[in-house]
Chains A and B, each alone.
Chain A
Amino acid sequence: MVEKSLSITIDNIQFSVVPFTTVAAAVALHGSGGTRRSVKGHRRTALCGMGVCHECRVTIDGRPHGVGCQTLCRDGMSIHTAQ
């Protein structure tokens, strides 16, 4: 099955993902390693995977606090992590 890929940017770096990839998965695939920084500055990544814990929040198209695990990547989307 050949699928069209979506072109997104993560922390200003161009990246491709297959359709229906979540933002949380895209950030992990990209390998930048983390989504947000905790209050004390520690690196965090997605924990619950289902929109409860909010550890995967990132800035999506300029809007902060997007829940990465509940957002699907769209062509042209820009994602900023707190790394």
Chain B
Amino acid sequence: MTSERYDIVVVGAGPAGLGAVSVALEEGARVALIDDNPRPGGQIWRQGPAFSAATPLQAWLDFYERHAGLTLFSSTRVIAATTDRRLLVESGHASAWHLGYGSLILATGARELLLPFDGWTLPGVTGAGGLQALIKGGLDVEGERIVVAGSGPLLLASAATAMRRGARVVAVIEQAPRARVLRFGAGLIATPSKLVQAATLMRSLTGQRYRTDSVVTAAHGATQVESVTVRSHGFDETIACDRLATGYGLVPNVALGEALGCAAEPQRGVLVDADQRTSVERIFAAGECTGVGGMELSRAEGALAAYAALGVNNARAAEQRRARARWRKFAARLTRAFEPGDAALAWPSADTIFCRCEDVTFADVSVHANWRDAKLQTRCGMGACQGRICGAAAQSLFGWNVPPARTPFSPARIETLMTASLDSPL
């Protein structure tokens, strides 16, 4: 088995990871970038058949993708970590090997908070960001009637992408109260670029219905979504649609950080100091795995993690620190405005599937006192996603503490695990 060593290994090729790589290469480091997607860009800069690279991503690709100091491992997942600063990784093309690092920068991003509701396993129901990702990947939504629901600015971005590809967005359902959304909108004056972005998105929704104080409580259909029930102020209304995209904001991906021993909290993410250092020596974290805050904040944090990892403190680092401070204020306003309220966190019906991997119902899970008991008694959270979907839901709905993931961090081939054990025990 091959084993390679790099000055810096970055996990995640979104804005934070790419920001870290740019700085590290400029400072002359030998860098490896690992990403589980086939192409760099993360979620926000996802490319696809009808979606060319966004300007900042294109700039990165032009300057750095073929840089001599960079080795890019796409379609590659981290499976395990060893104590001697090495990661066991597996690529989509059947091979596994170890990557050694001087410093490790985690930029594993965030995922959507998907809360279970009646009918959410019907084909045609996706995440809100999930729909956007699938459309960018080539999903055809032309002529479809789509309801976008949940919370946060991502709903508008997802609706805009669907409309650009010819869908009819019949309603955008936002759980946050109107007053909070308006206050958030007014606060955007502090970040003019976001104000322009929000205004553009809202304008594109003209004629559609943007409804606050509302949640989707059920999706209906025989083999596919045909309609959804929307609850506003205690009243239910049925809206016909071909597709429902719903997500209640984002949760930091802390699994890899926690598994490496880094201190983390569910909402705050991997905990870092002013230099983006985690609680573990030589491991840094940046971007939304350290708290959700958007692309600009992530880029600044990624750059700062690389500066700190390389011991560089110059005028450019100072500039990134100022950017980080500014965007952290925006992140705080965002979190306050779109925090899920009681209606969003209301329990679904007893028969609702809670764990989609193992088909465990809400009734079967909710009788247990904690996550561990629920897992042991029902297999909830023990399927292919390893509780990444229902674990976050359990945290939100029951306040359960979901312990760190154990090796292997992702479903892995048996050959990969055998390779690992031949080299050194996990």
Contact = CB atoms under 8 A, between A and B. Distances in A.
Contacts of A58: none
Interface residues of A, number: 38
A45 B123 contact: yes
Interface of B is mostly: loop
B416 to A, nearest CB: 13
A52 B388 contact: yes
Interface string B109-150: 001101000000101111101111110011110000000000
Nearest to A20: B49
Contacts of A39: 357-359
Contact of B356 (A20, A38, A50, A51): A38
B37 interface: yes
Given A34-B123, A65-B384, A71-B92, A49 B137 contact: yes
A7 interface: no
A80 interface: no
Nearest to B43: A50
A39 B15 CA distance: 37
A35 to B, nearest CB: 9
A20 to B, nearest CB: 5
Interface string B36-64: 11110001000111000000000000000
A17 interface: yes
Contacts of B39: 20, 72
Contact of B129 (A24, A38, A49): A49
B389 interface: yes
Max chain A Cβ within 10 angstroms of own Cβ: one of B48, B138, B353, B389: B138
A78 to B, nearest CB: 16
Contact of A53 (B37, B139, B388, B411): B388
B121 A38 contact: yes
Contact of B384 (A19, A54, A70, A72): A54
A75 to B, nearest CB: 15
Contacts of B47: 20
A47 interface: yes
Interface in A32-46: 33-34, 38-40, 42-46
Given A57-B384, A70-B36, A42 B130 contact: no
Given A20-B138, A48-B126, A48-B133, 17 more contacts: A20-B137, A21-B48, A22-B48, A25-B138, A29-B138, A29-B139, A39-B357, A44-B121, A44-B123, A49-B130, A49-B133, A49-B134, A50-B127, A54-B383, A55-B356, A65-B384, A69-B137
6 contacts: A20-B138, A42-B359, A45-B123, A49-B130, A52-B112, A69-B133
